[in-house]
Amino acid sequence: MTRWTTAALLAVLSLTGLTACSGDDSPSSVASKVASAASRAGDAVSSATAEAGRRFDGINNGVDAGDDVRLGTPATASDGRTTVEVTAANRAGSAKSFAVQVDFTDEAGKLLDAVVVTVRDVPAGGSGKGTARSTHDLSGDVRAKVSRAVRY
């Protein structure tokens, strides 16, 4: 069993309350519930990615700033969410804000979540910080990468 299948199975078991004594724990029933849980997880990632796209669509006169953004090391907060510090360096001649899409992935690069962080009013020649926070609990070896960044 892959790690994802195991995780999905555990999610189904916890969500549905299956036990060894349940009335419908046939292999096909469990497989169906695992597939359903995996689909819901995929829907959550699709929803987060779509929301990130909408946030970027609302930015006018933005400039690609991917080279001006750095991420810290992802950590799990006390509530189970994954967080990572975002630092944006403003190389422009006036104060600017940054929109940064952070993708949380597993060690194989599979997308687990996507969030957009806004770092506002970064002074000219200075840097600003923000924190990207996953929209749901993530497990395993979670990594973070800048998917896109815009200075405006």
Residue 75, helix vs strand vs coil: strand
Which of 65, 132, 139, 57 is closest to 102 using CA atoms? 132
pLDDT tens, position by position, for the chain (152 residues)? Answer: 433 333 333 343 334 343 334 445 444 433 343 344 444 445 656 666 777 777 788 788 899 999 999 999 999 999 999 999 999 999 999 999 999 999 999 999 999 999 999 999 999 999 999 999 999 999 999 999 999 999 99
146 Cβ partners below 8 Å, 6+ apart? Answer: 66, 69, 71, 100, 101, 102, 103
- Has this prediction a pTM greater than 0.75? no
